[in-house]
Every structure is written in C-alpha cells, then in structure tokens.
Structure 1
C-alpha cells in the first residue's frame, strides 16, 4: 500500500520506516561521521592530548600545505577512479591502508619536505580506497556524481568541532558544498567527462582542499613534533588513511540509505541518533 487517507480524505504518502538492520548501519555511520577528529585519533594513538597540532606551523609551511593539498586532490581525481575494476565490490581497505603506511614511512624517513612530495601519492591511494568503499555500498563509479561524492569525503575530515547541531557536522558540510557540486555536475554534463581544470570543478576542489588542508597540516605537524615522532610516518599515515576510510564508510552508508528511504527520512533519523548519542 503506497498511500493512506489523510483526515481531509486526500491521499498522503507513507513515510517508510527504517529497518532495524539499516538503523544499526545508520547508527554506525553517525558515530563515524560525528566521532573523533584526526587530532583525536592521534591523541589516542600517542596516549596524550595533541589539540595544538597544526596551529603552530610557520606561515611558509602553511602556504606550502595549502598549495600541495589542492594539487594532490586534482591529481587524485585525475587518476584514482580510472584504475579501479568496475566488477569488484571488495573495498580492499587493508590493502590501501598498507600502501598508505608504506608511503608515510618513506615520507617520514626523508623528512618533512618529503611529506609534501608524498601527499599526492597518499591522497590518490586514499581516493582509491574511498571509491572502493563507495562501490561496496552500491555506487556506480561511472556516474560523475559518485566521483564527486568520493572527493567530498576529504572535506568531512575538517570539521569545525562546534557543539551546535546545526552549525557543524556531516550534513552542514554537504550543504556548504551543494551549490559547487551542482555547478560541477552541470559542467561535467556539458563536456561528458570530469575535467579537473574546469572552473566549477576547480572551485569545488578549492572548497574541499581548504577543509582537507586543516587535517593535512595536523598530519605534517604530527610527523615533525617530538610527541609523535616515535610513532613514525607509517603510523601517522595509517591513522590518516583510517580516518578517511571511516568517514567514507559513514558517508556512503548514508547515501545508500537515502536511495532506499529518501533524504528527508534519513536526515531526520540521523539527527535523532546524533542527539541521542550526544555527538
């Protein structure tokens, strides 16, 4: 039965109830998307707070991180999604985590300047991992909208940390990027391909890069300061990759449920779960 009668006698669509299995998946997604930041993960790894990470980078270093981050996103978007077999739904998260750890170890062994050289490699590896996760949740990697949804995951890691539900969090980031995503999709439709040099895609990557750069700055600082120096580049890069894989699992779980139940229903349930969890 697709409709019920309202009090006025008109047809009123039923709001689908989320199944217990899907509600549990949504709970895990909320915890992933609203849970500890990258700095929080590093604090746990190091056994002590490291909230100041990334705030004390010298201006030249911060500018270098900003430039390198956007370049890394462009390179990742250009290469990562084109090399994934379309028939496989195995996210291969362990493989990508190991590759990122190896990349980080190389960067750590060669010093901080090498970390910036290594970033495009690790970003491409992470985008491949994100795309595999998307694929495992039923996304079509041939769809440009899916490709842009994959790259958006990098914006989810730079949350503001606001305690106010409507000022921060997953849906706030999606809303902030929505107009740029729409414009980028229009340009993709006109050209038939995702061209990272078009104005709309450049603007979207700039928005994402500004948030991703916050986490990259924390990563660069983590590989330089004594409190985490003993962990090495491999450990920091593993945490870095795991952080974004966790976000990707949450993001594409939400998108899968939106395809089943509708965006409004999922967002209402998401906000209820977030409030009940105190996130």
Structure 2
C-alpha cells in the first residue's frame, strides 16, 4: 500500500493533471472565450502553426538539456523558467502571428528545460534517452478538448497512444551516440507529440493575435503557457516516480496487472 506521503503526492499529481485546460485559463485572463479569437487568425495560419510546432520540438530536443547536469532530486526552478518564457512571449504579443516562427522555438526550449528540471527533481536521470523523450512527451499531455475527462483522455490515453512510438524512439537513441531527428522512429514520435502540442499552441497564437493584448499580454499568455506544462510535468513525473517505487497495482479491485498510474482516479 502507498505510504501517507506517497498517497498525498498521488492526490497532488491527480489535481495537477486535472487542472483547467490552457484555453480556459487564457479565457479567464482575457475575459472572453478563446474561440472568439479564431477569426483573428489569417488564412493559412493552421499550416504555419503545424510546421512551426514540429520544428520547435525538434530544436528543443537538441538544445534544452545539453547544458544541464545530471544530479537528480535538485529543487526545480519553476519561476525562473516561467519568467524567461514570459519575456519570449512579449515578442509574440507585440508582433502577433508573424513572430510565432521565432518565438515558439525559444519558448518551447525554455519550457522543455523546465520540464527536464522538474523530471530531475523527481529522481529522473536527464541523460537517459527515455527521460529525454518522456520530457518531450509532456507536450502531448496539454492538448485535451475542453469536454474530455482530463485523466482518461488527457493523460492515460495519451500515454498509451504514444507508448509504441516512444519505445521505438528510445531504442533508437540508446543505440546511437548521435541523435538524428530525421530517423523514422524519432520522426514518428515527434509527429505524434506535435499533433497534440499544436492544440495549445493554436490557443496561445489566438490569444497573442488579439490587438488588445500587446507585448504585456503576450508575456502573460506565455507565462500561463509555461505554467500549464509545468503542472502537467509535475503530475506526470510524480506518477512515474511512484511507478518506479510500487510497480504494479496493489488493489484487488483491478483484474489485470497495471502500473500505479492507472490507480490515480480510484486511489486519489
């Protein structure tokens, strides 16, 4: 059975993974439903966002963790990364969609570094190929539709959907000292992550395209963007830490063997 401390951590992870969606949080800040901003995006904006999102993930995978040391369980610097993300978001708010191709790779790299920082604080080795890709996987956890159940659709289903491509990409990275983003296993994994990540990126782009926001509003939106994925990351890596500690479910109510993650809803 879980200790009281670990049960409290599990409850905290569940709450983080069930946080309101990015669109809802942005709507609360700007005082209007984010869907109203769809008309602000020019023709061809979706194609720009898809292309930019994929390139941002490829760039972030190469650079975000390269200067970090591998000392697990250090305290993560969440506010520092949110501050840097906010600064990069000021450019997006000042120049709108045209700035996305420049701003998004920067903010994605900053957020991925923050995700890795949180992973390290939860005992992950950031030099591990698996951990590096699981950090990237966090970006896929933020794309649930507003009517989805946050745990079932926004977390467990996404992990299951990515499991095969993640495993193939980890195997590829573990067998090579140099990572090539054009390798089929990594292309497949990044493509799946980008498809989910593109949803909150579009929501961010819509908010930053609103004329009333400007640079200050863009910084605020990007801070929310960073905070959203930090929450997903903290919940995700807490569950992974408990999976390492407890392995299979401890409750006889489950008829098939599964990891501790599937117990979040019932135990927390």
How far off is 1:81 after superposition?
1.0
Q: Which has the larger radius of gyration?
A: 1
- Counterpart for residue 119 of structure 1: 104
2:223 alignment partner in structure 1: 238
Structure 1 position 212, deviation (Å): 0.4
Q: Are the equivalent residues in 1 in contact too, given 2:41–2:209 (CA < 8 A)? A: no
**Take 1:163 and 1:244, find their aligned partners in 2: how far apart are those partners?**
17
Structure 2 match to 1:249 = 234
Which residue in 2 is equivalent to 1:160? 145
Distance in 2 (alpha carbons) for counterparts of 1:159 and 1:134: 22
The question of whether the paired residues in 2 share the 8 Å contact of 1:57 and 1:217 is answered with no
Distance 1:118 1:265, change over 3 A: closer
Pick which of 240-249 and 263-272 moved more. Answer: 263-272
Structure 1 gap ranges (5+): 1-16, 275-279
TM-score by length of 1: 0.85
1:114 positional shift: 1.0
Aligned pair partner of 2:2 in 1, 11, 18: 18
Give the aligned partner of residue 74 of structure 1: 58
| Cα distance change, pair 257–52 in 1 and its aligned pair in 2 (3 A) | farther
Partner of 1:8: none
Q: Provide the aligned length of Structure 1 versus Structure 2.
A: 258
Task: Answer whether contact 2:52 2:100 (CA < 8 A) is retained.
Answer: no
Matched, 1:195 2:183: no
Superposed displacement of residue 193, structure 1: 4.1
Which residue of structure 2 lines up, in the alignment, with residue 37 of structure 1? 21
Q: Does 1:140 align with 2:125?
A: yes
8 Å CA contact 2:144, 2:150 repeated in 1: no
TM-fit CA distance, 1:91: 1.2
**Aligned with 2:143: secondary structure?**
coil
Do residues 269 (structure 1) and 267 (structure 2) align?
no
Check 1:165–1:153 CA distance in 2 against 1; reply closer, same or farther (3 A cut). closer
Contact 1:130 1:150 (8 Å CA) reproduced: yes
**Residues 273 and 43 of structure 1, relative CA distance in 2, 3 Å threshold:** farther
1:66-105 equivalences under 5 Å are: 66-87=50-71, 89-105=74-90
Q: Which runs of 5+ in 2 are unaligned?
A: 249-257
Where does residue 255 of structure 2 map in the other structure? none
Pick the aligned partner of 2:116 from 116, 127, 131: 131
* Cα shift at 1:165: 8.1
Q: 2:159 aligns to what?
A: 174
Q: 1:218 maps to what in 2? A: 203
**CA–CA distance in structure 1, aligned partners of residues 99 and 162 of structure 2:** 31
Q: Distance in 1 between matches of 2:150 and 2:89?
A: 35
Q: Distance in 2 between matches of 1:57 and 1:27?
A: 39
Residue 161 of structure 1: CA displacement? 3.9
Q: Cα gap change, 1:55/1:267 in structure 2, threshold over 3 Å: closer, same or farther?
A: farther
SS in 2 for 1:191: coil
Partner residue, 2:93: 108
